Amino acid sequence: MNAISRIAGGILLASCTTLAMAAGNPLSVHVLNLEDGLPSSDVHVTLERLQGQSWQPLSEGVTNEQGRITELFPQGQTLQDGTYKVTFKTGDWFAQHEAKTFFPEVPVIFAVDASVEHYHIPLLLSPYGFSTYRGN
């Protein structure tokens, strides 16, 4: 087996492993840096749920070398219908990389309605802009 085949096989296996890990948890996130097209590791991310008029902290994590947190929702809890907020601490990440940014954090507020078993929140990031969408 040549080196390219081994690398491709490793990437495929890592992708399958990531998907398998995420399958057991109802929420994952992914951060990609649009400036260089690479995953953004070491981004601090928080998860909160809207309770009445205030946000209740649920969990937090840090993106891995693939720019992912595959299990952001707290273990042993059930994802319920409601409004949630994932906040990406982008200012800290850019400061670690000695870069300026216009957005010190990116809050993504989304509604859970039990229409799907797994919610994925990707963030495409640059110093002066960002984009997000409902992933899968």
Q: What confidence tens digit (pLDDT) does each residue in 59-115 have?
A: 999 999 999 999 999 998 889 999 999 999 999 999 999 999 999 999 999 999 978
pLDDT at res. 1 = 52
pLDDT in tens, 24-70: 899 999 999 999 999 999 999 999 999 999 999 999 999 999 999 99
Q: Provide the sign of the torsion angle of the four alpha carbons 70, 75, 79, 83, taken in this order.
A: negative
Q: What are phi and psi of 121, to 5 degrees?
A: -115, 100
Is pTM, for the whole model, over 0.75?
yes
Place domain 25-132 in its CATH homologous superfamily: Transthyretin/hydroxyisourate hydrolase domain (2.60.40.180)
- Number of C-alpha atoms within 13 angstroms, CB side, residue 75? 5
